[in-house]
Amino acid sequence: MSDSGADKQPDVQLPNVHVRAEVLVQALPHMQRYDEEVVVIKYGGHAMGDRAAAEDFAEDIVLLEQSGLKPVVVHGGGPQIGRMLDRLGIKSEFREGLRVTDEATVEVVEMVLAGSINKQIVGWISAEGGKAIGLCGKDGNMVRARRAARTVTDPDSHIERHVDLGLVGEPEHVDRTVLDAVLKAELIPVLAPVAVGADNQTYNVNADTFAGAIAGAMRAKRLLLLTDVPGVLDKNKKLIPELSIEDCRRLIADGTITAGMIPKIETCIYALEQGVEAVVILDGKVPHAVLLELFTDYGAGTLIRRS
């Protein structure tokens, strides 16, 4: 081999190569832990609208599948639905801060979620070398839904009253047949949270709730809920790294967990009680948050276990 400088690699590159090798070695036990295990990832929030973040997410999903995991992606799309309704001149009615889904709205919901967003995510994953397939709860009767029951409590009288949200549904039954077949074929399922009821009516299902039902039915090793916040925060707005179900209920009772985080925590508790080993709420805007959580010792959010 020649001793000329032109044939040598610059010394400055060697530390970077060694660091990358060390990172891979450290990731190995994590990969072994999740080998052949189902991991359900709920993808949503403003990270969906950022192209760079979307590409990072797609890379993560492909790497998970290539590493021997069985990723299942569930996505939301609230902002995109809102923009399409505005474009079509369909006015949304809100009750107690929640969007009412009527016949006209549910058609747009299905078009946006099971159509444009679903296929966009499939395209991102395909662009990174993965083989994804877009589905919704209707396909193969995967998810049967019922009309969601919502109540609110009057702060003065403490009387509960029913809130009719129209065609908003909640999962009643999950049939694994299609998902088992897709995963066996080494495809990555990308699921839109639209389902059908026993009345043959289409229902708009909250993406977190949908993901929790899928994770529970699949006895997933992990359920990851990607959000717009770092995780569950204490009263000083500092991240709580780990919680039990009992901790979660206590923090709801004392007012630490409030507003939109409450239904997420309720989804976490449901999934854990259905057999999911652990759930993580993490910030989807962090680059490669999924890989940081699953393949490193540094958790990227709040880990929730049964006890």
The domains found in the chain, sorted by start residue, are: 38-303 (3.40.1160.10)
46 versus 227: the higher-pLDDT residue is 227
Q: Average pLDDT of the chain?
A: 87
- The fraction of the chain above a pLDDT of 70, given in percent, is 89
Assess whether pLDDT exceeds 80 at residue 289. Answer: yes
Report, as an integer, the average pLDDT of 37-41. Answer: 96
- Known binding residue 204? Answer is yes
Q: How far apart are CA 281 and CA 33, in angstroms?
A: 20
Report, as an integer, the average pLDDT of 125-141. Answer: 96
Q: How far is CA 41 from the centre of its chain?
A: 4
Assess whether pLDDT exceeds 70 at residue 10. Answer: no
Q: What integer pLDDT is reported at residue 107 of this predicted model? A: 94
Nearest to 293 by CA among 21, 34, 44, 10: 34
Assess whether pLDDT exceeds 80 at residue 238. Answer: yes
Q: What integer pLDDT is reported at residue 165 of this predicted model? A: 86
Q: How far apart are CA 69 and CA 91, in angstroms?
A: 42
Q: What integer pLDDT is reported at residue 292 of this predicted model? A: 87
Between the two ends of the chain, the Cα-to-Cα distance in Å is 61
Q: What integer pLDDT is reported at residue 1 of this predicted model? A: 45
Assess whether pLDDT exceeds 50 at residue 157. Answer: yes
Phi, psi of 15 (to 5 degrees): -60, -40
Assess whether pLDDT exceeds 60 at residue 227. Answer: yes
267-277: per-residue pLDDT in tens? 999 999 999 99
- Known binding residue 260? Answer is no
Report, as an integer, the average pLDDT of 143-151. Answer: 87
Q: How far apart are CA 266 and CA 159, in angstroms?
A: 22
Q: What integer pLDDT is reported at residue 96 of this predicted model? A: 60
Assess whether pLDDT exceeds 60 at residue 101. Answer: yes
CB-based burial label for 195 (10 Å; 0-12, 13-18, 19+): buried
Strand partners, 286: none
Axis crossing angle, helix 261-273 with helix 245-253, rounded to the nearest 10 = 150
Q: pTM above the 0.85 mark? A: yes
Assess whether pLDDT exceeds 60 at residue 4. Answer: no
Strand segments (E) across the chain: 38-43, 70-75, 94-95, 98-99, 132-136, 143-147, 150-153, 160-163, 168-174, 188-192, 194-197, 202-205, 222-227, 242-244, 278-283, 301-305
Q: What letter does residue 198 receive in the DSSP assignment? A: T
200-224: per-residue pLDDT in tens? 999 999 999 999 999 999 999 999 9
Q: What letter does residue 176 receive in the DSSP assignment? A: -
30 versus 60: the higher-pLDDT residue is 60
Among 35-49, 226-240, 280-294, name the one with the lowest average pLDDT.
Answer: 35-49
Q: What integer pLDDT is reported at residue 37 of this predicted model? A: 94
Handedness of CA 229, 166, 81, 88 (dihedral sign): negative
CB-based burial label for 73 (10 Å; 0-12, 13-18, 19+): buried
Q: What integer pLDDT is reported at residue 92 of this predicted model? A: 79
Q: How far apart are CA 2 and CA 8, in angstroms?
A: 9
